[in-house]
Structure 1
């Protein structure tokens, strides 16, 4: 299957047809004048009627040449047959033969070639020389074959060149589409990464705001200094959430704008700071165990481990505010890193905090994606103190993740 070349503009097509018709007319009139000169010198027998017919057929051939793209075989056969009585049509005949050869349909080319050679011999019989040579017939046949072979070679070369250019154009367009697809895919992946990071950060901030705002709403017995302290926590975390949200919206609104340097992402080395911040905001968080050598975790695994603990604290604040949270970290190089975050299902704080904040369900989904990316495992659910599933009086929510830790 040959590639389809791009369609030229209307003006370019009109100019292409115009110069071809003018070239065919020039070639036909040139050969007609040569035959007329031979007739005038007495070398060839040409009557006035034959000359008039020759010119008329040549003019009709020029009009027929314009239809060669719609019916190339028919036009080529008619023009070649017309050359038996007209030399004025040889220019249109040559262009039609070249045009047919561009398709490289060899049985069609062979059929037109037979008509071309026979018509040339017929013209020599109808317009003989006064003193013909004995071998003139063979010369006419050989000349016809060689001339037609030249037309076929030119047409085949033009066809191959067009297909080559069309193939190059198609490759360039395909490469541009693939490059655009890769750019769009990279942009989507980056936006997904940004959305995952911002979900973790904003959920952490908003859960703090919701927990302390709930305390202000339901603890009417708090002293003024405690109210001011809690309101300051709400204000600080709300401002931090707005700043982080404004930053990510700026990136997503104008992806073509130069991005500001991205701040360093927290890693597992910042775990103590995360727990200290949670305790400073009123949470009861305990680090049950932590192995040595966690500084040797890879950057990606270390960042995912930090986000797992952060999401566990966020979920505890959302669904069990003021409840104690226990974080257990265990493992060793080569055996993997295990992180467990546990908290009671029911709140044990001094007062109920009202309805729980809406649960998007995306936090645990994002954690599962993080863990899958590094070949880890993630499990979560409600268990009892003896390890069985269910929601009894001692039920607790357990988030457990295992991450690979290279030796």
Structure 2
């Protein structure tokens, strides 16, 4: 049926006249060659009318029927070619016209054909009428059948499109319901508890004596951090309830691009307040990253530094490096404090290294990286690296307490088509985590490969 539709489709209209012309001229030249110039004129005139049957099937049907009768009156010997052309126009009439036009064309053509049959000898009238009835009936029925098939196919496509739209609407409704439920829980549960903690810390700032400035500093920091968390939670709840306010897709940023370098420095400042010796090397041009990759860099840096403080201890040293580099520069995936890393596992696009933490080595649970699509900086990649020295107070969690930090960061990197590497720092002391994303034109989005995905591989890459 699809092949028939392609042949009879209006887009094939320029091809059909060429095919009909070749077939008709071949028949006239090789099989039923006209004998006189008048015969040739009648046959070629009939061919011209037949070629116009695609656009004017009713007029062409009536005209060819009249030419058939005129050929009888003139004694032309081209009756068979004209009858074949009439069959073609009758098929076009049934295929492309409504029931009334088909009925009108059938009646008019039938009248001419009966007239044509009457010109035959008396003994041949009934056989001639039968042949002419077949000549007219078969094309009409065939055209009507094909027209019906096309209508049913169009209706089937419409039903399929409607079903697809319905499924799409149901999917959107389900997602909206899920987002609303998540937003409700975030507001009623998480935001409530955070607000309560901020309130209590605010009360403690005024109730506790201010003799020890260190206590005041800690309380002030807790109050400021809790307030910022509340602001972010409210914005997140607003986005979950109304995704239309998000520009550029399902990702959004809680930090302006121009504020990204300062936000990274703020993350480093917080771990310094926790007692770590932290150093930061942040390329100012990261402010040119788009919202998606900028937020990814910030979140991975925050998580990596927090895990360094958690696992390496308050007396550890940690270094954060965020760089934007042109392609073809630097050493990919093996830099750490100017030393080539060894034993950190294998790394592939969108995968997590399979190195393990050696005996006595402790480091950050996770860090991530994202290479962003750089506004005005196409062809550049972003590298983010966090290395800690293990610290003197090494703390390893109990077995089976693997959190979601490394899993989430591995998902972020894989989602953006980058590479991710986690394992012991060079020399086996401490922990190093490295990630990068190529520029958009070279990004290889994660597909195939290890079907477990980055989260499962991340769990194998770390004992934490």
Q: TM-score under structure 1 normalisation?
A: 0.45
Larger Rg computed on CA atoms: 1
